[in-house]
Structure 1
Amino acid sequence: MTLSQPPLLSAPPALPQLPPTGSLWRTDQLHAAGLNSRAIAVLVRHRELIRLRYGCYIRAALWNGQKPWIRSEQLILAHAHGTRTTSNGSFAYCHTSAARVHRLFVWNADDLVHVLLQTRPSGCRLGKDVRGHTRPFSEADVVTVRRLRVTSLERTAVDCALMLGYRQSLIIMDNALRQGADPLRMKEMAEAVPGRRGVKNLRRVLENADSRSESAGETLTRELLQRLRIPMPEIQLEVMSRAGRHRMDFGWRERRIALEFDGKTKYFDYAPAEEVLYRERQRENALTEDGWMFVRLKWQDLFNEETFKSRILAALRRRPEPRAS
């Protein structure tokens, strides 16, 4: 009796190969590289290729390794690449899109692509992921950043304050000032749009903005201190210890209380985590020897106002201001 052999299993078909160079492609570029529409669909289905928007794709290995704020910027670059506007064009990126291209801090905003146009087009022509704006502008309001036409720092911060909520726009305004935006120019812009929706928010933001803020978390901390009527500390307070000169996010010098925002992005994006945390511990040990007390905040602390206020007021009660001699 002859035993039958088990059927041979055929190997699954090999996936189409992406181009060896580049990571962002238009559909026509993938076609030129030998990938037809069916091959593109197969690569998307197998998560080798990510469709960012109509007619524009990115290598999945790159996209998957990007942090959220880099992805938000990548969507703008995909729009530019897809519409072939990396070097010229009749529109400019504006609002939060311009803020992202300028590398301003953008917090809690959507990923729509905002463009400034001379005339209002139909929504279907722009695409579902694009928002068109037509507030009058001149070429003086437009600059080129990384080959993209975007609104200037001043126009960007003003437009964001006219569109976003107070805390979102305060973060952007703080950072724009830190990057060198002209406050007088922005006040002139605010005066030029009386009665416009959002102008009250813009004026409030301009009044309270501070270029010394080094992160979105520091801006939100300052805003909470003001709104909860907590005695305002010095911002970016510098002190000396045996370990050298130190700069604190906030501090009540006479009470020797330091208030520090410990968001991970403040440290870990700029140096190895272990090295930064070691230096931070050495600094804090030296200041503690000199009588300083630290109150440390994390992101989640900024959204629990009752606990935020009670922690800081408790520290202030434990360290009353010294009486004048």
Structure 2
Amino acid sequence: MTPQQPVRLPSLPSTANLWRTGQLHESGLNSRAIKALVRHGKLVRLRHGCYIRAELWEKQTGPVRSRQLIRAHAHATLTTSAGGYVYSHTSAARLHSLYLWDVDDLVHLLLPGNPSSERLGKDVRGHTRPWTAAEVVTLSGLRATSLERTVVDCAMMLGYRQALVLTDHALRLGADKALMGCMAEGLQGRRGIRTLRLALAHADPRSESAGETLTRELLTRLKLPLPEPQVQVATRAGKYRLDFAWKEKKVALEFDGKTKYFDYKPTAEALFQERQREKALTENGWTFVRMTWADLFREHEFKSRILAALQR
């Protein structure tokens, strides 16, 4: 039996990592060669007419991949900072590097007209609500809605908790709450306006992650005593900043879900220092309640843990 010969694949261009189909053709790769490169894991098709080097794609984190899909749309459609498209809603949020929770990767655009969905593509949603020049900024060469307009558009499209996560972070990045309130006044009667108003009313720029925002929302919804966020406490091991604290009860609530959702992994040294600080706080009479993402969806158990800690 003759041993199977290894497949000889054509080479990808040595320059760039993101290509339109036409660019690959110009480099000598026909449609059959492109399909072979995709099939053997050397090339990844991001959307119709746009491919990325697989080696690069595999190294990218989730948030970076989501932004890469927007770049792929811009590259495939030859969108530039002077073009007619304005990236909006969750696409603009990603270009602003805002926290998003439980949101799909559809590309959202503001358009002067209302083209058919077939023309835009299955992965694109077009929106036609008018915009002003002041509501458009350029981010890494792409036109996108401003921070404030992005929050308003997203909050009117998403659920309340999703909107609160994004609004918290936008305020932390410097978004103008008064300006967003003025925008909301001009949108009375629109679908989603109630969600926008609730998010603006309850947003808190002290929240440092989506998990902290959702924890605060859950505490409020369960009618539990509300702690103070980002509390600094002095110990013999130095100052320790707690995610949440009921200072009079000496109860700390810490959210430990950063790794899964924000591609953050604490170093061994950081973990050691955290254990030392926690030990010092415990010696001073503090009680710790630690939360993960799973705990956010075990509401009865979460409430019982908090009440038990406060009663101690």
Aligned partner (choices 115, 133, 141) of residue 109 of structure 2 = 115
> Distance in 2 between the 1:96 and 1:181 partners?
16
> Which residue of the partner structure matches residue 170 of structure 1?
164
> Which residue of the partner structure matches residue 275 of structure 2?
281
> Which residue of the partner structure matches residue 122 of structure 2?
128
Identity fraction in percent: 64
The unaligned stretches of length 5 or more in structure 2 are none
> Distance in 1 between the 2:27 and 2:8 partners?
17
SS in 2 for 1:311: helix
> Which residue of the partner structure matches residue 306 of structure 2?
312
SS in 2 for 1:35: coil
| 1:266 Cα offset (Å) | 8.5
The aligned amino acid for 1:101 is L
> Distance in 2 between the 1:291 and 1:242 partners?
13
> Distance in 2 between the 1:113 and 1:270 partners?
25
SS in 2 for 1:240: strand
Contact 1:267 1:276 in 2 (8 A): no
Tell me, yes or no, if structure 1 residue 27 matches structure 2 residue 21. Answer: yes
SS in 1 for 2:105: coil
The aligned amino acid for 2:171 is L
- Within-5 A mapping of 1:228-307: 228-265=222-259, 269=263, 272-307=266-301
The aligned amino acid for 2:235 is S
Tell me, yes or no, if structure 1 residue 151 matches structure 2 residue 142. Answer: no
CA distance 1:207–1:285, shift in 2 (3 Å): same
Contact 1:93 1:114 in 2 (8 A): yes
> Which residue of the partner structure matches residue 72 of structure 1?
66
Misfit runs of 4+, over 6 Å: none
- RMSD between aligned alpha carbons? 1.6
Contact 2:209 2:258 in 1 (8 A): no
More moved, 261-270 vs 119-128: 261-270
Aligned partner (choices 83, 86, 93) of residue 89 of structure 1 = 83
Contact 1:215 1:266 in 2 (8 A): no
Contact 2:24 2:30 in 1 (8 A): yes
Contact 2:91 2:107 in 1 (8 A): yes
More moved, 260-269 vs 164-173: 260-269
CA distance 1:255–1:272, shift in 2 (3 Å): closer
Larger radius of gyration: 1
SS in 2 for 1:248: strand
| 1:65 Cα offset (Å) | 2.4
> Distance in 1 between the 2:193 and 2:258 partners?
34
| 1:271 Cα offset (Å) | 6.2
1:187-227 CA-partner distances (Å, limit 9, x unpaired): 00000011000001111110000000000000000000001
| 1:68 Cα offset (Å) | 2.1
1:37-72 CA-partner distances (Å, limit 9, x unpaired): 110011111121111101000111222222222221
SS in 1 for 2:187: coil
**Alignment: residue pair count:** 312
| 1:9 Cα offset (Å) | 4.2
> Distance in 1 between the 2:217 and 2:4 partners?
64
> Which residue of the partner structure matches residue 99 of structure 2?
105
CA distance 1:128–1:308, shift in 2 (3 Å): same
> Distance in 2 between the 1:122 and 1:10 partners?
48
CA distance 1:266–1:174, shift in 2 (3 Å): farther
> Distance in 1 between the 2:98 and 2:81 partners?
22
| 1:145 Cα offset (Å) | 0.9
SS in 2 for 1:254: coil
Contact 2:156 2:191 in 1 (8 A): yes
Aligned partner (choices 15, 37, 45) of residue 51 of structure 1 = 45
Tell me, yes or no, if structure 1 residue 184 matches structure 2 residue 178. Answer: yes
CA distance 1:268–1:116, shift in 2 (3 Å): closer
Q: TM-score normalised to the size of structure 1?
A: 0.92
